[in-house]
Amino acid sequence: MGFRLVLFLSFFAAVLSGKLEDLQLEPDEPLLRVQVSQEATVRCCYRCKESPEVSWIKNTPAINGTTMPDLVNFTKNVMNKPEGEKDGVICHSLVFKSVSVNDMGLYQCKLKHGLLTFFSHGTFLQIYLPLEKTLNLSEGVKNSIITVEGVLLLMCVLIPGTMLLCKSKKVNKLDRKTEREEENIYEGLNLDDCNSAYHQIQRSIQQGPYEDVACCEEDIQLEKP
């Protein structure tokens, strides 16, 4: 009895290993990002000599971090399209005509080959909402706004610079005017007259305000009392 059990298990393991070698999964696209209301296609490819039973599983993220696997129901909006075999690779496509936010999740192929069940690596379908434009402006209006901004920027640079140049010119004119007035003050003075007057002043200072009587040559007669 034990020998028969061992023989059966060995035969079953050999069959399973043969099945594993027959079916080989191809790498899937890890992420597919699609805008809401647009068409999306999730593909699943494998190599197999026989045709396994194919179904799609959707793994929806839960609040606690786990996933909830659900079998995908095919409708008019969601369809399974076999693409046939090419170079030994068989592909199946899960086509969404118009995706919604509820379609977001991880999609995997469930392949049932004999007694074994295989799951593909899976593709995460991400749905996003487009940003709404607050101002819907045409390209011509945008170009006009850019041109006006450039002109305003140029004026902000030129006007202060022009004002500074005008102020510097006024300051230079005032400096030149003061220099000319100083030159005109000294133009009417004679240097020889200034030197003679200067020497007379120096002599009067050296001699003093009073003259010595003895130094006078004329005879001075004093009156008797």
Residue 109: CATH number of its domain: 2.60.40.10
In the chain, what is the straight-line distance between the N-terminal and C-terminal CA atoms, in Å? Answer: 187
3-class SS of residue 198: helix
- Do both 30 and 124 map to the same domain? yes
Per the structure, the complete domain to which residue 86 belongs is given by 21-128
- Do both 34 and 102 map to the same domain? yes
- Do both 32 and 105 map to the same domain? yes
Query: How many angstroms separate the CA atoms of 184 and 52, rounded?
Result: 115
- Do both 122 and 157 map to the same domain? no
Query: How many angstroms separate the CA atoms of 37 and 43, rounded?
Result: 19
Instruction: Identify whether 191 is part of a domain.
Output: no
pLDDT in tens, 88-142: 899 999 999 999 999 999 999 999 887 888 899 999 999 998 877 667 778 888 8
- Do both 96 and 172 map to the same domain? no
Instruction: Identify whether 166 is part of a domain.
Output: yes
- Do both 113 and 175 map to the same domain? no
pLDDT in tens, 150-196: 989 888 888 888 888 888 888 887 777 777 666 666 555 555 555 56
Q: In the sheet that 78-86 helps form, which strands lie side by side, from edge to edge?
A: 24-25, 40-47, 89-96, 78-86
Mean pLDDT score, 2-19: 40
Domain count, the chain: 2
3-class SS of residue 6: helix
Instruction: Identify whether 51 is part of a domain.
Output: yes
Tell me if 107 sits within 8 A of 29, measured CB to CB: no
